[in-house]
Structure 1
Amino acid sequence: MKKTACKQKEKKNRLLTLLLLLLAVVCIFGPLYMTVVIALKSPQEMSHVLALPRHIQWSNFAKAWDMTDYPRKFANTLFITLVNLIFTVFTNAMASYAIARNRKKSRFFNFLYYYFISAMFIPFNVLMLPLVNEANKFHIDNVLGITFLYIVFGMPMNTFLYTGYIKSIPEALDEAAVIDGATPFQTFVRIMFPVLKPMTATVAILSVMWTWNDFLMPLVLLSDKKQQTLQLAQYIFQGQFNTQYNLAFASYLLVLLPVQVFYVLCQKWIISGVVTGAVKQ
């Protein structure tokens, strides 16, 4: 009886697993299939969205490239992403190291930790209008200004990730460095920062994907077309009376491709960094 019950339970589990897998395939690959198919169609074929194109229109990508001024917008987006990545990784790791090692000793650092973490619960929509007003006053409504804001707004989440990981690192490493005559800065650069590689990879990848894919902050801050990002350039396909869906979806693929390749190549570091940071020793 027990064997029969176990076999029935295994069959149910397999069936449920297959259903969930099918649902995942439909939800993930369904929109991707529609995006690729629409991007390769002519305007006359848009009445049948799911049907394959009769004649593949590779020219859609060339037209989308020219209409969005892709090289300039790509350069703006890449600049914001790379500068944000460099400053985020080093400054946030250093601040998190100071907070994690001094929380138990100092009320100030303990307050600082909760101050940063509390910012995670404030939606950007609440800060959006005051931020636009202040950005205009201080003239940071440009590429350099929005890069600085990305570094600031990413700090709460990155501090949370880094401090959780640093807790799992024995303080004996710090003490040994101090005995050898290292200053706190030298201890961080030569000892701690190399040890933080798994979490640094996670923070770096998540920061890159967030910055590259963000639409709302550039929308409210970047009014100059020459300084707009790739995400804002997608507005050009939407007119007052019609939308060029085939060109728009071709442009979406051009925007999606770089970050998708980046994620596929680096996803193992995301998983390893999150798992390692979640385990306390």
Structure 2
Amino acid sequence: MKKKTFSKIFWYVFSSIIAIIFLLPIYIAVTDSFKTQKGLYLDTIGLPTKAVFTLENYVQAFIDLDFFKSFLNSLIITVISTVLIIIFTSMAAWVLVRHKTKMSKFIFFLFALAMLVPFQAVMLPLVHIMGKLHLLNPGGLIFMYIGFGSSLSIILYHGFIKGIPVELEEAATIDGCNKFQVFWLIVFPLLKPITVTVSILNSMWIWNDFLLPQLVINKPQWQTIPLKMFYFFGQYAKKWNLALAGLVISIIPMIVFYFLAQKHIVKGITQGSIK
């Protein structure tokens, strides 16, 4: 009994320490976003006192980020990329599952293998090729996001679709449905849990991505929020108070989206992993 009690206390303390380590950067970002530049350097970890507390950081960050424009750019790129990833990868995974051939296994293996290739290894030749094709613009960026997001999405869909009875599709075919109708009317509605998981994982990655937009987007009117955040870090000065305020503003949409759909994340991943 004492051993079980000690074990519970140990894991409780251990979990609390891990939680504090992960939450500490968020705490620092939020509290320091309400401090003046001087107050931030005087006390980085402490709560903002009355002498250094200010809301001006958020007002100035909102203006400097040109928030409505950059928010719209990020939203358009994220939504279009995520929707196209869902459409293409769900169909591809369904075909790979239902048509079991050596070629389908080989193609699935290629998608799994692609996850091992780091982006840094292909970014320079990729940008060079996209430049020759005149695709260094939001359209080209979306095209590249589809490619980089397909591997993980297909693997998740592939595992989930294995658990869907093929008899449902056979019955729909007997009733006169073609392949397109079988997938969109029968199969795709059953993919809701894993679709939510895929959408959240890809949305959070695309929304927060800095490196690929930095390489591809070369006009100020196309810049996303992460690119605009770079405005706060100059050669001779770094406006940490404004940068942290801008960071808090930029992550709010993803936090809201995550909490609205979080119950589907674990459900989708676990169901896809055991089927």
TM-score, normalised to structure 1, is 0.93
Q: 1:94 aligns with which of 91, 95, 100?
A: 91
Superposed CA RMSD in Å reads 1.3
Q: 1:14 and 1:113 mapped to 2: Cα distance?
A: 42
Q: Hey, what does 2:78 align to over in structure 1? A: 81
Query: 1:138 maps to which residue?
Result: 133
2:5 is matched with 11
Given candidates 9, 13, 19, the residue that maps to 1:25 is 19
SS in structure 2 opposite 1:121? coil
Bigger shift: 234-243 or 249-258? 234-243
Partner residue in 2 for 1:188: 183
Which of 235, 244, 253 is the aligned partner of 2:239? Answer: 244
Alignment-mate amino acid for residue 3 of structure 2 = K
Matches within 5 A, 1:111-190: 111-190=106-185
Q: Which amino acid aligns with 1:132?
A: V
Q: Which amino acid aligns with 1:236?
A: Y
Q: CA deviation at 1:217?
A: 1.0
Superimposed CA distance per residue, residues 180-227 of structure 1 (whole angstroms, 9 cap, x where no aligned partner): 222111111111111111111111111111111112211221122211
Offset of 1:138 from its aligned partner? 0.9
Say which is worse superposed, 11-20 or 156-165, in terms of deviation.
11-20
Alpha-carbon shift at residue 147 of structure 1 (Å): 0.9
The runs of 5 or more residues in structure 2 that have no matched partner are none
Q: Name the aligned partner's letter for residue 2 of structure 2.
A: Q
Q: Residue 3 of structure 1 aligns with which residue? A: none
1:215 aligns with 2:216: no
Quote the residue 1:4 is aligned against.
none
User: Partner letter of residue 31 of structure 2?
Assistant: V
Runs of 4+ deviating beyond 3 Å: none
Superposition deviation, residue 24 in structure 1: 2.5
Distance 2:220 2:113 in 1: 34
Q: Secondary structure at the match of 2:237?
A: coil
Give me the TM-score of the superposition, normalised by structure 2: 0.95
Q: Distance in 2 between matches of 1:53 and 1:202?
A: 37
Q: How many percent identity over aligned positions?
A: 35
